Amino acid sequence: MLKNIISDSQRLFVGKDVPSEYLHDQYVGDLKPLYAVALPLTHDEVVGLVEFAIAEDLKIIVRGAGTGVAGAQVPIDGNELIIDVKLMNKIVDLDEETFTLTVEPGALIGDIHEYVQSRGYFYPPDPASKHSSIGGNVATNAGGLRAVKYGVTRDYVKQLKVVLPTAEVLELGSLNIKSSSGYNLLHLFVGSEGTLGITTEIKLKVIPLPKHTYSMIMAFDDVFKATDATLQLLKGGAKPSEIELFEKDAAYYATELLKYDLPTTKGEAYLLVEIDGDDPQDLELRLKMMEEDVKDLALETIGLVDHDEKLRVKKIRDNILVGLMEFTKFEMLDEVVPINKFATLIAYTKELSVKHGLDVLNFGHAGDGNVHTILMQHELDDQTWLLKRKALLDDLYAKVSELGGLPSAEHGIGTVKKAYLEKMIPEVNLKTMRAIKAVFDPEGRLNPGKVI
Ligand SMILES: Cc1cc2nc3c(=O)[nH]c(=O)nc-3n(C[C@H](O)[C@H](O)[C@H](O)COP(=O)(O)OP(=O)(O)OC[C@H]3O[C@@H](n4cnc5c(N)ncnc54)[C@H](O)[C@@H]3O)c2cc1C
């Protein structure tokens, strides 16, 4: 009986009592009824729930904060058991001798940032979804704004405790800085979108917190000048930690929501560039270097040194997606191409917009070659939208593949991009991934039908 594992009725919802939040998703329609949703508090409860699912032959879906945008955390077959780890949200320990932060999987990334920063440390991965869980971040290998200098979630995961769908428990990784000691199973689980195991504890690397961050907002005639400028900034010596690109039309949704404007109104495209370090004089010098790097391309550059002003501008970038959600209907992509192909990709999205008669906006992590192309549904009826969307996506992903890119840089494949992943990577790679899935999950119990 499930009640023997989760005795608290506030943490167990069976059949028709399952709250509606588990049965709706912005990206996947027509969700089927669930067997139950259980909210464990401990690792042992997770093991118990998996044993129950095995005994009752139920499929399992693990869920963190439910912010996923690839349809990986939602039921697709019906009668699944959702294990929602959001109440396993403790920040357990900061070990200052090994620079290791131990957390439960439901801890929110925004809370983790605050916790380590208040103690003088820094956890750089910075997805704009501050309300997503670290378990979800690990499962999607979340990236975020600072990847250009600091890398992505994978680079900061030291150890994972994982419950397999067979109810066995794996302890992966170690606190050692280096390892050449067999296959790296830890990295298989990072980015596996809840298809290999359920993470119940995470040990993360933290680093000393840079004392200062300065930013610069740069205005350009168009996105092509902005992407050229990105290459100049990457080549230059200023060592930016973030290079974020957004079109004026994309910033519009955030400024409408926040009710204030960018400090510049020139041009049609912007770069928001951040630098960090300990020495204010060095940072001032690096701001000047950046100005020099883009002087032949930018219409205007404004250095942002004042803490509050910097945060106000960054908030505009962070709220583009939230604003879009508030004001219109759309689909967000997260394709990635080699950095020298970024401008070609953006130009192609504009061609596709004309060809398929769908509005397209772009914003994203220019320093990583990762663009969030936004397909706007606006007022289109669902049938027309779905037809146009599919035709545009078929063209777009074919181009991404031709440019040497991949369908997802940071949001994952889930169900939404599965058909495109299948077309974009070699059959033998897919076969190998399916074989790996079968090793950890021989009965196909955990999150089946997702990713591969
Ligand atoms: C407004 C917004 C902005 C965003 N911006 C960014 C961004 O800048 N960069 C970026 O990288 N991403 C971004 N994202 C995506 C976001 O990072 C992911 O949605 C997030 O990492 C998923 O975390 P979650 O806790 O919501 O997981 P869920 O949505 O609950 O689940 C996502 C996946 O993780 C799996 N999972 C969750 N917990 C566990 C666990 N404990 N063990 C095993 N598998 C688990 C689920 O099964 C599912 O496959 C954004 C999303 C939104 C809505």
Domain 212-321 has CATH 3.30.70.2190: yes
- Give the residue range(s) of CATH 3.30.465.10 domains in the chain: 91-208
Q: What stretch(es) of the chain map to CATH 3.30.70.2190?
A: 212-321
At 83-109, the pLDDT tens digits run 999 999 999 999 999 999 999 999 999
Pocket test for ligand 1, best of 411, 418, 447 (most atoms within 8 A of CB): 411
Residues 16, 33: Cα–Cα separation, whole Å: 8
User: Residues of CATH 3.30.43.10 domain(s) within the chain?
Assistant: 9-84
Cα 418 from Cα 451, distance rounded (Å): 5
Domain 9-84 CATH assignment equals 1.10.1740.10: no
pLDDT mean over 422-443: 97
Nearest CA-CA partner of 86 in 126, 135, 53, 45: 135
Q: What is the mean pLDDT of residues 169-193?
A: 97
Report the chain's mean pLDDT, rounded to a whole number. 96
Q: Is the pLDDT of residue 28 over 90?
A: no
pLDDT at 31 > cutoff 90: no
**Structure pTM?**
0.96
Q: Do the Cβ atoms of 32 and 75 come closer than 8 Å? A: yes
Question: In the prediction, which pLDDT does 26 show?
Answer: 79
13 exposed, middle or buried (CB, 10 Å; 0-12, 13-18, 19+)?
Answer: buried
* Segments of the chain assigned to CATH 3.30.70.2740: 328-427
List, for residues 245-300, the tens digit of each pLDDT value.
999 999 999 999 999 999 999 999 999 999 999 999 999 999 999 999 999 999 99
Q: Are 86 and 131 in contact (CB under 8 A)?
A: no
Q: Give yes or no for residue 322 CB within 6 A of ligand 1.
A: yes
pLDDT at 62 over 90: yes
Evaluate: CB of 128 within 6 angstroms of ligand 1.
Answer: yes
pLDDT above 90 (res 24): no
To the question of domain 91-208 being in CATH 3.40.50.1980, the answer is no
260 Cα–ligand 1 center, Å:
29
pLDDT tens per residue across span 113-126: 999 999 999 999 99
- For ligand 1, say whether the CB of 407 is within 6 Å of any of its atoms: no
- The average pLDDT across 207-227 equals 97
- Provide the token pair at 1: 């009986």
Statement: 328-427 belongs to CATH 3.10.310.30: no
Q: What is the DSSP letter of 341?
A: G
Contact 176, 451 (CB under 8 A): no
- In the prediction, which pLDDT does 25 show? 84
Ligand 1 contact via 62 beta carbon (within 6 Å):
yes
Per-residue pLDDT at 27: 80
Please compute the mean of the pLDDT values over residues 352-360 and round it to a whole number: 97
Mind giving me the DSSP string for 120-153?
TEE---B-S-TTSBHHHHHHHT--BTTHHHH--G
Q: Structure tokens of 287?
A: 């701001």
324 lines ligand 1 (CB under 6 A): no
